[in-house]
C-alpha cells in the first residue's frame, strides 16, 4: 500500500507532466499544482522539496517562478519514487534490497517458509513495479480523470 504522501507526489508529478507536454509550458506555483491536483498546499511544499532532491523536478524563484519537470516522464521510475518517499517496499525486512535486515526471530533464512512465500510474491511485484514510469501513468488515461479519481 502506498502512503497518502506518495499519492500526493504522483498527483503533483502528473500535473507537471501535463504542463510539460503543452506547446508553451510554464513553471507552476505550488498553489497552481495544489489546485490542479486536488492536493492540500501545506503537504505539497514538503513533498515537492523531496522530489526536487531526487532530481526529478526543478524550481525557480521570481514572478514567473515555480516548478517544472526536469526529467522526461519515461525517465521517472515509480519504484524509485516509492522507495525514496515511502521507504523500503519489501513486505519483510529480509527481502529488502535497500534496507536489508535479518528478521529478529529468524534462525535460518534459507529454510524460512514465510520468507520463501513472500519472496515469490514480492519478486513478481518487483518485476512489474520496476518497469513502471510516470509515462505509463500518463498513458493510462486522461490525467484529469486519473488524478481526481485516485
Residue 60: all three cell numbers together: 525557480
125 has a pLDDT exceeding 50: yes
Query: What confidence score (pLDDT) does residue 116 get?
Result: 92
- For residue 78, give the nearest of 25, 14, 149, 30 by alpha carbon: 14
Contacts 24+ apart (CB under 8 A), 60-66: 60/27, 64/26, 64/27, 65/27, 65/29, 66/26, 66/27, 66/28, 66/29, 66/30, 66/32
Query: What confidence score (pLDDT) does residue 145 get?
Result: 45
147 has a pLDDT exceeding 50: no
Residues in the chain: 150
Per-residue pLDDT of 95-112, as tens digits, reads: 988 888 888 888 898 889
Ramachandran region of residue 62, left (φ > 0), alpha (ψ -120 to 50) or beta? left
138 has a pLDDT exceeding 60: yes
Per-residue pLDDT of 9-45, as tens digits, reads: 999 999 999 999 999 999 999 999 999 999 999 989 9
142 has a pLDDT exceeding 80: no
* All domains of the chain in start order, with CATH: 4-74+133-149 (1.10.10.10), 90-129 (no CATH)
Angle subtended at Cα 49 by Cα 95 and Cα 139, rounded to the nearest 5 degrees: 70
Query: What confidence score (pLDDT) does residue 11 get?
Result: 96
Amino acid at each position: 500500500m502506498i502512503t497518502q504522501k506518495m499519492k500526493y507526489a504522483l498527483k503533483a508529478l502528473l500535473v507537471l507532466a501535463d504542463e510539460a507536454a503543452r506547446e508553451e509550458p510554464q513553471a507552476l506555483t505550488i498553489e497552481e499544482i495544489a489546485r490542479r491536483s486536488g492536493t492540500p498546499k501545506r503537504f505539497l511544499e514538503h513533498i515537492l522539496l523531496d522530489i526536487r532532491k531526487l532530481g526529478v523536478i526543478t524550481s525557480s524563484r521570481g514572478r514567473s517562478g515555480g516548478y517544472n519537470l526536469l526529467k522526461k516522464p519515461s525517465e521517472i521510475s515509480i519504484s524509485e519514487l516509492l522507495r525514496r518517499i515511502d521507504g523500503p517496499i519489501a513486505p519483510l525486512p529480509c527481502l529488502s534490497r535497500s534496507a536489508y535486515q535479518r528478521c529478529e526471530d529468524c534462525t535460518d533464512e534459507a529454510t524460512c517458509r514465510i520468507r520463501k512465500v513472500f519472496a515469490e510474491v514480492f519478486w513478481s511485484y518487483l518485476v512489474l513495479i520496476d518497469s513502471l514510469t510516470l509515462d505509463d501513468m500518463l498513458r493510462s488515461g486522461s490525467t484529469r480523470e486519473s488524478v481526481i479519481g485516485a
